[in-house]
């Protein structure tokens, strides 16, 4: 029997957190923060089996 698990975490820009960096890490991707211009590159990270990004039509 499968057991469902979900985990939520808040990010605070005032505390130096970045949702873009967290998303790049979890997905093993290269993402650029449009606000700060920082590039977060986690493409060489091991352990990412599959990743998907779903956004509504017309989203940036």
SS3 string, 1-60, reads CCCCCCCCCCCCHHHCCCHHHHHHHHHCCEEECCCCCCEEECCCCCCCCCCCCCCCCCCC
Q: Give the model's pLDDT for residue 51.
A: 85
Q: 60 pLDDT exceeds 80?
A: no
Q: Give the model's pLDDT for residue 59.
A: 86
Q: 30 pLDDT exceeds 80?
A: yes
What global pTM score does this model have? 0.69
- Rg for the chain, CA atoms, rounded: 14
Burial of 25 (0-12, 13-18, 19+ CB in 10 A): middle
Q: Give the model's pLDDT for residue 50.
A: 87
pLDDT confidence tier of residue 11, bands split at 50, 70 and 90? confident
């Amino acid at each position: 029997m499968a057991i469902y698990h979900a985990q939520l975490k808040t990010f605070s820009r005032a505390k130096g957190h970045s949702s873009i960096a967290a998303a790049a890490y979890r997905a093993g991707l290269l993402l650029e923060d449009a606000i700060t211009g920082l590039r977060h590159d986690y493409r060489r990270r091991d352990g990412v089996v599959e990743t998907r990004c779903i956004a509504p039509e017309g989203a940036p």
